[in-house]
Structure 1
Amino acid sequence: MTSPAKRRTDYRLTFLVLCVGVASFSLLQSMVNPVLPTIQAALDTDQATVTWVLTAYLVSASIFTPIIGRVGDKVGKERMLVVALGALAVGSLLAAVAGSIGVLIAARVIQGIGGGVLPLTFGIVRDEFPREKVASAIGTSAALLAVGGGVGLVIAGPLVEALSYHWLFWIPMAMTVVAAIAAFVWVPESPERTPGKINVGTAFLMSAWLVALLVGVSQGHHWGWGSAKVVGLFVTAAILLPVWVLAETRSKEPLVDMKMMRIPTVWTVNLVALLFGMGMYSMFAFVPQFLQTPEVAGYGFGLSVTESGLMLLPQTIASFIGGVAAGRFATRFGSKNLLVVGAALTAIGTFGMAFTHDEIWMVLVETTILGLAFGLAFAAMSNLVVAAVPQSQTGVASGMNTNIRTVGGAIGSAVLGTVVTSNLQPIGVPTEAGYTHGFLLLAITSTAAAVVAVMVPVVKAKTHVVPGPQAEWEAEHDVATSASASQP
């Protein structure tokens, strides 16, 4: 039973709590990347092993994001939000005090459970906020993923130089503890619930094919793309994925409803998410490396980790502005149009990175364009998916969209890493052609994302509603999609 204090909670306070949780998760996605060499030296391990600090987090978040979202749909989103934030806090504490690489990797697995924060946030916003505020709130919280990713890259270097890499975990831990307590005290429990039990069998199948795919993709560069381990993982994923889909289709209580996944708006936006994720996460990973390349290589600027992070500050600001403005733009122009613009701007920015990167101001302009694109597209994708599904499936639908975007990022980063490092100079850095070809590849995937975005169906308001439970969703659906129903 919801307490009177929770019932009286202003939705703006709820939104503040949700934003702190999303920001904490987002920071943990990116802050560790620039300082892996520091962690490797501090924990006396090798490069192949330290990459599991990233892989473990990626795989765990990919598994738990849709699962936590679905559990929230069934047992209560506020309750699962506290669980997800608690996992982030516990994982961050364990990572901060870890004295060995094994403990740190285990801590990152626990942190990945916090991936459920994002779909739970979208569900709570849809359940609790005034309808006219839903689009802007979802847009802002979705954009925080891109903003947090940029902020993590900006502050990682200065933080490690001033203190130590342990503070990369102490700070998110403090944020998530505060957010978890605030969520427990103030965030109201969801009125919408999906009856039934959690399908453990299909959850296991989904986890198995995701682990096989993501471990293969993430470690392929180190193990060799043609190695027995990598090929075996890809074959396993290729077998288990259709088995999982078949199991979900035949299940009376599916974890992920395949009928929902076949909704035209949902599957087209998910395809955009896959292609878009390939570009966004890869740019987060490789632009700092490009900026840090010594000028003796014939390109690059020889910046330090701190300096390269600060160079991405305009991108981060642009992401935040795009996300905050997306709600108002969606009301006027439609979320579909914002998604097309975001994907197109991503293509423009990556084409620019491929061919005009000789001066620092060029890179600043291009990354700022990318930041604006990320903010707009993240908000638009989230609003389109949330509006296209029944309220009781908000968590799992947005969780799968986030998950697919993460899978795209893993694939894109792996492919870009192979392309960029295919030819190395005698000093051990990639040739300029490697980066040119890599950025060009991302420009092509971003262009494809824009083309698919044009094909996203626009939901039109219904003129007749049949009485019954579905009618309640259709009435809500019409209101929720009004911000995304503008024709292109």
Structure 2
Amino acid sequence: MRRTRQIRPTEGLSRPGKARSGPVVSVLAFAGITVAVMQTLLVPVIKDLPVLLDTTPANATWVMTATLLAGAVSTPIMGRLGDLHGKRRMLLVSLAVMVVGSLICASTDDLVVMITGRALQGFAMGAIPLGIGIMRDELPRERLGSAMALMSSSIGVGGGLALPAAALVAQHADWHALFLGSAGLGLLAMALTYTLVPEPPLRAPGTFDVIGALGLSLGLVLLLLPVTKGGDWGWTSAPTLGLLGAAVVVLVLWGLFELRTPAPLVDLRTTARREVLLTNLASIMVGVAFYAVSLVLPQLLQLPTSTGYGLGQSMVVAGLCVAPLGVTMMFVAPLYARISARRGPRTTLMLGMLVIAVGYGAGLGLLSAAWQTVLIAVVLGAGIGLAYSSLPALIIGAVDPSETGAANGLNTLMRSIGTSVSSAVIGMVLADTSVTAGSVRVPSMEGFRISFLIAMGAVLIGLVLAAFLPSRRPSAHPVLLASSAGDARAARAAEPGERGQRTGASNRGTVASSRETSDPGASS
């Protein structure tokens, strides 16, 4: 039996016009790019972290792992808090925590303090689902598709653009300046959000599920820790197997609790719905595919030519060659909106994953020159941009308006799990197939090609999963509860339902809070 969702009214509720929605989209996209910069800024100095922090290589990897774990934990939690207490408010909190973490990292060379700061930076990952939720609640229908596409792709956009900039800073300035730059971007994003982004009026009922949040956090840490560290510990070692077993137990118990609590952190019944489940599983595969290119191309570009296959480029040039990945993702957002308007987001997702598969397939034979890596980055960026842009539209079309933040938070988590698995598996492949160059071990061309095959296989699995998604077009506009009868009539007039066939007469939409109202798809 479906539960009815109540949405609290807010006085003076109105849809923003184009003049106001423009800054909202720009600011939220900038916030997403800021989060991506935070994730990418240490990539140019990863190999130097043991020396910079006076520690072992195994310990230095915790600087990256801490951010990953914190981001995975915070994403669904911040999404749910946004549904309950205001998405803009939680967006500001996420950015503020990131700024604090950046300032901590900028002021220390101590490993433990650095890990703490990086974990705080990871909490900014919640900005992505919160931004998508604000867009759904605030933007006019004609702007929503391309806006969500840009927000969803902002991780790739920011990562691609930040890589050469971070490399330039790392080469010519103290590496702590990277964190000062991250803090400055965070403060600017906060100021713009506070000034230009309105607080959406939609609120979910109930209270925050503290036990559910703690259970999910523990389960995710127990799961992702051995996934990210299994290569160092050994995949059959007692710590790895023990943590994976503990993760299964904790997550099963958490799931049973969530099914019984009246206000769960994650509505597992909604999550188990076919369109939501398949979209989340496909998201994991897209995450695997996205991270593979980020691991392979920079290393190939920077390996010395003496290896016989390395391209001998500097850190900055390598960043510039990979940058088109993010730039292309940004430019395909309007293309996504056009394709999705005609064919639906399922078709766009499948097209994107097909382009990704073609890009990795071509990459198997195009790794002998820098210009070829640029070509691969462009093709993969186009495919990943289309795929990432489709995911929030598929999720939004399948859940209640009051669950937008939590549902997109869970979907973002699925992408993070994909990138974690990709990092672990491809890292293991590159290590196991490495060769000796001089006095050091370096990745081999065989390892790079196997990595591309793994990414191509993952995205083809995602393509099969997407083929079983319902072939309907979810609504691209929010469902609001107006504060007066006059506002309700205006909202009803502006948002006609789309339940019928495209060739049939559409039903009159209503401003309501039930599950049926939030799922007005048209068959295609």
Q: With the length of structure 1 as denominator, give the TM-score of the two structures.
A: 0.93
Distance of 2:11 and 2:99 partners within structure 1: 25
What is the CA distance between 1:7 and its match in structure 2? 8.3
Deviation at 1:3, TM superposition (A): 10
Is residue 439 from structure 1 mapped to residue 449 from structure 2 by the alignment? no
Q: Distance in 2 between matches of 1:205 and 1:360?
A: 46
SS in 2 for 1:70: helix
Check conservation: 2:292, 2:452, Cα contact below 8 A. no
The residue aligned with 1:180 is: 190
Structure 1 residue 406: Cα displacement: 0.5
Is 2:230 the counterpart of 1:230? no
Secondary structure (helix, strand or coil) at the match of 2:332 reads helix
Aligned residues of 1:91 and 1:109 also touching (Cα < 8 A): yes
Matches within 5 A, 1:59-458: 59-427=69-437, 428-458=441-471
Question: Which has the larger displacement, 21-30 or 285-294?
Answer: 285-294
- How far apart are the structure 1 equivalents of 2:168 and 2:12? 43
User: Deviation per CA, 1:383-432, whole angstroms, max 9, x where unpaired?
Assistant: 11122211100001111001011101101111111112213322211222
1:12 aligns with 22
Q: Summarize the Cα distance change of 1:21–1:468 in structure 2 as closer, same or farther, 3 Å threshold.
A: closer
User: Counterpart of 2:464 in 1: which secondary structure?
Assistant: helix
**Counterpart of 1:41?**
51
Please say which of residues 270-279 and 427-436 is displaced more in the overlay: 427-436
Does the CA contact (< 8 Å) of 2:399 and 2:518 recur in 1?
no
Deviation at 1:230, TM superposition (A): 1.2
Provide closer, same or farther for how the CA distance between residues 330 and 140 of structure 1 changes in structure 2, counting only shifts above 3 A.
Answer: same
Deviations 1:281-317 (A, max 9, x none): 1221222112222222221212222121111122222
**Letter aligned with residue 244 of structure 1:** W
Q: State the secondary structure of the residue aligned to 2:435.
A: coil
Q: Do the aligned partners of 1:26 and 1:148 also contact (CA within 8 Å) in 2?
A: yes
State the alpha-carbon separation in 1 of the partners of residues 171 and 523 from structure 2.
49
Give 1:377 shift.
0.9
The structural deviation recorded for 1:269 is 0.8
Which range moved further: 367-376 or 58-67? 367-376
Equivalent position SS for 1:426: strand
Does the CA contact (< 8 Å) of 1:68 and 1:116 recur in 2?
yes
Aligned-partner SS, 1:355: coil
- The code of the aligned residue for 1:137 comes to A
Aligned residues of 1:265 and 1:458 also touching (Cα < 8 A): no
Aligned-pair distance for 1:324?
3.7
Q: Which moved more, 1:370-379 or 1:323-332?
A: 323-332
Deviation of the 1:206 alpha carbon = 0.7
Q: Distance in 1 between matches of 2:377 and 2:117?
A: 32
AA at the equivalent of 2:279: V
Distance 1:329 1:7 in 2: 25
Any stretches of 5+ residues in structure 1 without a counterpart?
none
Contact 1:33 1:54 in 2 (8 A): no
Which amino acid letter does the alignment assign opposite residue 128 of structure 1? E
What CA distance in whole angstroms lies between the structure 1 residues aligned with 2:191 and 2:372? 44
Contact kept in structure 2, 1:17 and 1:183, CA below 8 Å? yes
Q: Kindly provide the amino acid, as one letter, of the partner of residue 30 in structure 1.
A: T
The residue type paired with residue 350 of structure 1 is Y
Equivalent pair of 1:2/1:188 in contact (CA under 8 Å): no
Deviation at 1:462, TM superposition (A): 2.2
Letter of the 1:462 partner, please give it.
Answer: R
Q: Which amino acid is 1:308 matched to? A: A
Runs of 4+ with >6 A deviation: 1-4, 6-9, 464-468
- C-alpha deviation, 1:79, in angstroms: 1.2
Q: Equivalent residue for 2:499?
A: 462
For the residues of structure 2 that align with 1:162 and 1:324, how far apart are their CA atoms? Answer: 37
| Whole-angstrom CA distance in 1 between matches of 2:174 and 2:523 | 50
Q: State the alpha-carbon separation in 2 of the partners of residues 127 and 476 from structure 1.
A: 12
Report if aligned partners of 1:465, 1:475 keep a CA contact under 8 Å in 2. no
Letter in structure 2 aligned against 1:94: I
Q: Summarize the Cα distance change of 1:166–1:135 in structure 2 as closer, same or farther, 3 Å threshold.
A: same
Shift of residue 96, structure 1, vs aligned partner: 1.4
RMSD over equivalenced CA pairs, Å? 2.3
The worse-fitting range, judged by mean Cα deviation, of 352-361 and 134-143 is: 352-361
Query: C-alpha separation between the residues in 2 aligned to 1:466 and 1:337?
Result: 25
- 1:476 to 1:217, Cα distance in 2 relative to 1, 3 A: closer
Question: 1:148: how far off?
Answer: 1.0
Aligned mates of 2:11, 2:43 — CA distance in 1: 41
Give the distance between the partners of 1:227 and 1:95, measured in 2 at CA. 32
Do the aligned partners of 1:38 and 1:165 also contact (CA within 8 Å) in 2?
Answer: no
**1:155-192 residue CA offsets vs partner (Å, 9 max, x unmatched):** 22111112222222212211211221232333222211
Shift of 1:2: 8.4
Q: Which has the higher helix share?
A: 1
Counterparts of 1:17 and 1:318, CA distance in 2: 20
Q: Counterpart of 1:255 in 2: which secondary structure? A: coil
Q: Is the 8 A contact 1:338 1:376 kept in 2?
A: yes
| Cα distance in 2, alignment partners of residues 108 and 361 from structure 1 | 34
In the alignment, is the contact (CA less than 8 A) between 1:142 and 1:323 conserved in 2? no
Change (3 A) 1:355 1:247: farther
2:504 aligns with none
* CA–CA separation in structure 2 for the residues paired with 1:56 and 1:315: 25
Separation of aligned partners in 1, 2:120 and 2:303: 34
SS at structure 1 position matched to 2:205 = coil
TM-score by length of 2: 0.87
For each residue in 1:87-135, what CA deviation from the matched residue of structure 2 results, as whole angstroms up to 9, or x when unmatched?
1111111111123121111001111111111111011111111122111
Distance in 1 between residues matched to 2:264 and 2:344, nearest whole Å: 32
Distance in 2 of aligned mates of 1:68 and 1:316: 25
Matches within 5 A, 1:19-38: 19-38=29-48
Amino acid at match of 2:282: V
Q: Report the secondary structure of 2:64's partner residue.
A: helix
CA distance in 2, matches of 1:416, 1:185: 43
1:219 deviation in Å? 0.9
Aligned pair count reads: 481
